[in-house]
Amino acid sequence: MTETSATRGLIFNEPLLWEIGKKGRIGFSMPEHDVPDAPLDKEFIRKDSELPDLSEVNVIRHFTRLSQWNFGIDAGMYPLGSCTMKYNPKVNERVALLPGFAEAHPLLPTSLSQGILRLMFELERCLAAITSMDAVTLQPSAGAQGELCGMLIFRAYHRKKGKPRSKIIVPNTAHGTNPSSATLCGYKPVGISINEKGILTPDAVAALMDEDTAGIMVTNPNTLGFFEENIQKISEIVHSKGGLVYGDGANMNAVMGIVDMAACGMDILHLNLHKTFSTPHGGGGPGAGPVCTKKYLEPFLPVPRIIEEKGVFSLSNDFPDSIGKLHAFYGNVGIMIRALAYILCMGGENLKKASQLAVLNANYIKEKLKKVLHLPYDRTCMHECVFSDKNQNPTKITTLDMAKRLIDFGFHPPTIYFPLIVKGAMMIEPTETESKEEIDRFIAAMEQIVEEATNQPDLLRNAPMKCKVRRLDEAQAARKPCLAG
Amino acid sequence: MRYFSHTPEDIRSMLSAIHAGSIEDLFSLIPANCRMKKNPDIPPPMSEWKLIRKMEEMAGDMPSSAYRSYLGAGRYEHHIPSILPYLLGRSEFSTAYTPYQPEISQGTLQAIYEYQTLTSRLLGMDVANASLYDGASALSEALFMALRITKGKQIAMSKLVHPFFREVVSTCFAPTSFEIIELPFLDNGTTDISKLKDMEDLGAVIVQSPNFFGCIEDLRKVSETIDHQKTLLIACFTEPIAFGLIHPPGDQGADIVCGEGQSLGIPVSFGGPGLGMLACKEAFIRNMPGRLVGRTTDLDGKPAFVLTLATREQHIRREKATSNICTNSSLCAVTALMFMASVGGSGIRKLAQLNHDKSEYVKNGLKAKGVRIPFSAPTFNEFVVQFENGFSKKYEKLLQEKIIPGLPLSEFYPELKDHYLICVTETKGKADLDHFIEKVTS
């Protein structure tokens, strides 16, 4: 590799906001005080809030400088496994900010909310079509809240049947949110291991599934990047004991237009609009985690539901079996607008093509990098592949060192140390929006880093060198927490 | 498709490099009976221009800027400085992931640290987290947090906490054995706390201020009524602009403060995304839900910021985590920070006073025209009125005249027939307000 994408550039130091502030400034255009003063009684009045006073220019410069210390998907490849960091189309931003949407109050009479209700209804129909499920709620604010919604439906369903259950099967490869969400609903997560091919087996599920087990949570494709080939058989086993199958759709980007989730036996499935459907991650949210179900679980979905009658939309709370409300209003509508814009621009054929290219990119990386990195499960993968640092053990170079060194080459590191079942895991998900050239550069960077690990290991141990800061003292941060200035 | 870069030649050469005959080969491990039989039934791809037209049509079916809305009740119309959408359009903020790699995420990390700091100051608390989904989820998480600390079995919740927040709490608490006891309200529009002293195993009390009727509650009195060793006071809010002017909950003895931050520069957007704000006393840090950013140093001793105390969180603790929340509302927290920075301490006091004064102007104007103001407690920027019997007909007429005259309350409080919740913010000029008073009383 002759020259890396990343180079040095001029960035600025920037103090904390309250170090810039000076009493007497303001960055807000205060509307005219055109009504009589109506002072509140003194007993209600606070002392100064100590928010710093800044001018508009202070604020603009502060945040512009801060932004320059960040790496975003528009700057370069962001191959975080299971996070689906694909390109976030700009037209989606444009339409989400249309005043008719952005300024719409959630308690408007339905006669004045037809446009937005129609949009939400159309998105529900699209998501149902993409997954082959029957009913959709858009209310959950993120994947984890979708899981919570799903687990509450599990609970409501079993109670309705008159037989509450106490356990749930959660594979050891699952995201941490799965066992955490299940616990919130009173279920004891029971771990289950994968086989030598990296997938679940019907036998292992049969050995655990009983009539006190509410069902199973399955991420498919799983976090090793493999399709759970036995999913139908597993679903049959779970159903035969009266249980339900929950699908974590975090990895849906691999199988749009390809896999029929209903045919797989999924009863409930959540999607992440901020992964599969291209809405920006926002540095950690807001996202959205719609939940799709089969027809017979529809009565349990959160209220209000959007109802269409003769082209007129309304919101209905008339679902006596519903688990109730999960969001103060209807969920993250601003995110839904972006996701629908994406789906409409793509159409069914391009959604399928996105999955195909995502899988092609991942397999290309897997085949090229397995020559230099340890690949614990060497099989055709879906949209992501998982390596480990086993080959580097003799030099004591770790996954963390390689990840940090990637930054110096201009790439965001992959997801590291997850899934937990692979020691020193490096989980790479390129997504479909990375070009062959960019992926070739990424592969070349990894090859060079692996070589450096043997010949110049200090380059890795000291990485990154090109960022505003070097590696941080995380132990100090946790030992003596300083969470406010 | 413009979001793809692969040429047919790229695809051929990549397939050949991995010894695959076709893209379909890569999916050969998916059993036939798990496959879709045909492409999903969604419309064919739209051009950018056709999409914009379609979206504009749907947005055009919503109220235009000619409408004057007096709706509040948990989502508030405030002016948003032009610099906010401009700065938020910087994709370094918007397209980044959760800042797990601090060396290339210092922008988000410093911003969140600043958000935590300014939130703590605004609410009068020691520490704030990096955000939760929305006000309702923040309340539910605050309750779980309080009960982890106190181990109490009962929860007392004011009936003047936002009705939708209370519904979310009851959804999230359905699988638990905690008992939720509702505190009724007094004639003056504030919470009746007389029942509190009889509760034996009370783990948390929740009071919202300003409450759903817009009335300012006496949180100090609630705080003095309970034994904080056994019972934590959770103060909830939906209108944080109020704390630019009135006592923040932290100054009045609240142990945990939580609520909705949409007012701070975030578009209403039909109710979401919002911003779940949560702050607490320092002693409770390790029981907090959600992410936290802390200050530390790098290898060279330079100050820097990093996600910290992650051992509370689901990706480390799994079923033993303090919360299942992963993705939160980070960009909305940054929005709120930009808003707080723009108005500043002096500005937020003026803005809050302006909201209060305009709201009082309408309240007094209606009162002068004979409209009943049923609750006597002081209010911030919204208040309840009782219109004449059968006002709902006039309501429909006013909608036609592009006035949305507040929220009918009978759906939430059946005993409050003909009562409406009216919100007045800085977005209305005196002429609008005079017109409104005239129209609803004529």
DSSP characters for A405-436?
A: HHHHTT----EES-STTSTT-EEE---TTS-H
- Closest residue, chain A, to B162 (C-alpha): A328
Q: Which tokens belong to A64?
A: 């512009």
Asked if B414 reaches chain A (Cβ–Cβ under 8 Å), the answer is no
Is residue A28 situated within a structural domain? no
Last residue of a domain, one of A310, A344, A378: A344
Q: What is the 3-state secondary structure (H, E, C) of B40-61?
A: CCCCCCCCHHHHHHHHHHHHHC
| SS3 call for A72 | coil
Last residue of a domain, one of A316, A344, A372: A344
Q: In whole angstroms, give the CA distance from residue A468 to residue A328.
A: 40
Structure confidence at residue A159 (pLDDT): 97
Determine the distance in angstroms separating the CA of A370 from the nearest CA of chain B, rounded to an integer.
Answer: 11
Structure confidence at residue A8 (pLDDT): 86
Res B193 pLDDT > 90? yes
List chain B residues with CB under 8 Å of A431. Answer: none
Q: What is the mean pLDDT of the segment spanning A229-233?
A: 98
Q: Tens digit of pLDDT for each residue in B326-358?
A: 889 999 999 999 999 999 999 999 999 999 999
Residues 116 through 155 of chain A touching chain B, CB cutoff 8 Å: 116, 118-119, 126, 129-130, 132, 141-145, 147-148, 152, 155
Is B302 in Cβ contact with A363 (below 8 Å)?
no
- Chain centroid to CA B255: 19
Q: Are residues A272 and A150 in the same domain?
A: yes
Determine the distance in angstroms separating the CA of A213 from the nearest CA of chain B, rounded to an integer.
Answer: 16
Q: Which tokens belong to A416?
A: 């590291």
Asked if A376 reaches chain B (Cβ–Cβ under 8 Å), the answer is no
Q: What is the mean pLDDT of chain A?
A: 97
Is residue A74 situated within a structural domain? no
List chain A residues with CB under 8 Å of B92. Answer: 67-68, 70-72, 74-75
Q: Are residues A239 and A363 in the same domain?
A: no
The DSSP bridge partners found for residue A306 are A315
- Closest residue, chain A, to B346 (C-alpha): A53
Parallel, antiparallel or unpaired: strands B232-237 and B256-260: parallel
Contacts of residue A304, Cβ cutoff 8 Å, sequence gap at least 6: A315, A316, A317, A325, A330
Structure confidence at residue A267 (pLDDT): 98
Indicate the DSSP class of residue A136.
E
Q: At which residue do the structure tokens 């920070």 appear?
A: B337
Residues 354 through 373 of chain A touching chain B, CB cutoff 8 Å: 354, 356-357, 359-361, 363-364, 366-368
Q: Which tokens belong to B288?
A: 């907090």
List chain B residues with CB under 8 Å of A418. Answer: 315
Is B296 in Cβ contact with A476 (below 8 Å)?
yes
Total tally of structural domains belonging to chain A: 2
First to last CA, chain B: 58
Q: Are residues A113 and A152 in the same domain?
A: yes
List chain B residues with CB under 8 Å of A181. Answer: 324
Asked if B49 reaches chain A (Cβ–Cβ under 8 Å), the answer is no
Is A32 in Cβ contact with B268 (below 8 Å)?
no
Res A2 pLDDT > 80? no
In order of A275, B94, B134, B252, the CA distances from B89 in angstroms are 19, 7, 22, 38
Q: Are residues A256 and A384 in the same domain?
A: no
pLDDT over 70 percentage in chain B: 100
Q: Are B169 and B158 in contact (CB under 8 A)?
A: no
Structure confidence at residue B315 (pLDDT): 83
- Cα-only R_g, chain B: 25
Q: Which tokens belong to B274?
A: 């919002």
Q: Is the dihedral of CA B234, B236, B240, B243 positive or negative?
A: negative
Interface test with A, best of B26, B139, B215, B269 (most A CBs within 10 A): B269
**Alpha helices, DSSP H only, in B272-324?**
314-317
Q: Across the A/B interface, how many CB contacts are shorter than 8 Å?
A: 687
User: Confidence band (pLDDT; 50, 70, 90) for B39?
Assistant: confident
Structure confidence at residue B316 (pLDDT): 81
Is B327 in Cβ contact with A286 (below 8 Å)?
yes
Q: What is the mean pLDDT of the segment spanning B23-32?
A: 97
Is residue A35 situated within a structural domain? no
Structure confidence at residue B162 (pLDDT): 98
List chain A residues with CB under 8 Å of B360. Answer: 35, 38
Structure confidence at residue A1 (pLDDT): 53
- Cα-only R_g, chain A: 25
Indicate the DSSP class of residue A368.
H
Q: What is the mean pLDDT of chain B?
A: 96
Q: What is the mean pLDDT of the segment spanning B299-319?
A: 90
List chain A residues with CB under 8 Å of B127. Answer: 483-484
- Closest residue, chain B, to A322 (C-alpha): B171
**Residue A266, domain CATH:** 3.40.640.10
List chain A residues with CB under 8 Å of B81. Answer: 27-29, 56
Asked if B177 reaches chain A (Cβ–Cβ under 8 Å), the answer is no
List chain B residues with CB under 8 Å of A436. Answer: 5-6, 10, 13-14
Determine the distance in angstroms separating the CA of B334 from the nearest CA of chain A, rounded to an integer.
Answer: 9
State the DSSP H helix or E strand holding residue B403, giving kind and residue range, or none if neither.
Answer: strand B403-404
Structure confidence at residue B46 (pLDDT): 98
Q: Are residues A225 and A276 in the same domain?
A: yes
Is residue A78 situated within a structural domain? no
Asked if A309 reaches chain B (Cβ–Cβ under 8 Å), the answer is no
Res B429 pLDDT > 70? yes
| Domain ranges, residue A366 | 355-475
Domains in chain B, ordered, with CATH? Answer: 68-80+345-441 (3.90.1150.10), 83-339 (3.40.640.10)
Contacts of residue B385, Cβ cutoff 8 Å, sequence gap at least 6: B363, B366, B371, B372, B373, B374, B406, B419, B420, B422
Is residue A37 situated within a structural domain? no
Asked if B301 reaches chain A (Cβ–Cβ under 8 Å), the answer is no
User: Confidence band (pLDDT; 50, 70, 90) for B314?
Assistant: confident
Q: Are residues A292 and A362 in the same domain?
A: no
pLDDT over 90 percentage in chain A: 98
Q: Are residues A163 and A254 in the same domain?
A: yes
Residues 55 through 94 of chain B touching chain A, CB cutoff 8 Å: 55-65, 69, 71, 73-75, 77, 79, 81, 83, 85-87, 89-94
Structure confidence at residue B198 (pLDDT): 87
Residues 218 through 277 of chain A touching chain B, CB cutoff 8 Å: 226-227, 229, 231-232, 255-260, 263-264, 272, 274
Res B225 pLDDT > 60? yes
Q: Are residues A310 and A440 in the same domain?
A: no
Q: Are residues A99 and A149 in the same domain?
A: yes
Q: Are residues A305 and A381 in the same domain?
A: no
- Closest residue, chain B, to A16 (C-alpha): B114
Parallel, antiparallel or unpaired: strands A213-219 and A167-171: parallel
Interface test with B, best of A105, A148, A365 (most B CBs within 10 A): A105
Is A345 in Cβ contact with B48 (below 8 Å)?
yes
Determine the distance in angstroms separating the CA of B196 from the nearest CA of chain A, rounded to an integer.
Answer: 24
Q: Are residues A289 and A361 in the same domain?
A: no
Residues 33 through 62 of chain A touching chain B, CB cutoff 8 Å: 33-38, 40-41, 44-54, 56, 58-60, 62
Q: What is the mean pLDDT of the segment spanning A322-339?
A: 98
Question: Rounded to 10 degrees, what is the CA torsion of B105, B302, A22, B116?
Answer: 50
Burial of residue B227 (CB within 10 Å: 0-12, 13-18, 19+) is exposed
Indicate the DSSP class of residue B98.
-
Q: In whole angstroms, give the CA distance from residue A378 to residue B310.
A: 32
Q: Are A305 and A283 in contact (CB under 8 A)?
A: no
Closest Cβ–Cβ partner in B3, B36, B309 for A132: B36
Q: Are residues A387 and A336 in the same domain?
A: no
Res A127 pLDDT > 90? yes
**Residue A400, domain CATH:** 3.90.1150.10
Last residue of a domain, one of A322, A344, A366: A344
Is residue A447 situated within a structural domain? yes
Q: In whole angstroms, give the CA distance from residue A135 to residue B191.
A: 40
Res A474 pLDDT > 90? yes
Is B75 in Cβ contact with A107 (below 8 Å)?
yes
Is residue A329 situated within a structural domain? yes
Contacts of residue B173, Cβ cutoff 8 Å, sequence gap at least 6: B140, B143, B155, B180
The DSSP bridge partners found for residue B179 are B154
Burial of residue A394 (CB within 10 Å: 0-12, 13-18, 19+) is exposed
Determine the distance in angstroms separating the CA of B345 from the nearest CA of chain A, rounded to an integer.
Answer: 4
Q: Tens digit of pLDDT for each residue in A96-110?
A: 999 999 999 999 999
Determine the distance in angstroms separating the CA of A2 from the nearest CA of chain B, rounded to an integer.
Answer: 22
**Alpha helices, DSSP H only, in A22-83?**
56-67
Q: Are B246 and B227 in contact (CB under 8 A)?
A: no
Is A473 in Cβ contact with B136 (below 8 Å)?
no
Q: Are A328 and B165 in contact (CB under 8 A)?
A: yes
Is residue A1 situated within a structural domain? no
Is B306 in Cβ contact with A472 (below 8 Å)?
yes
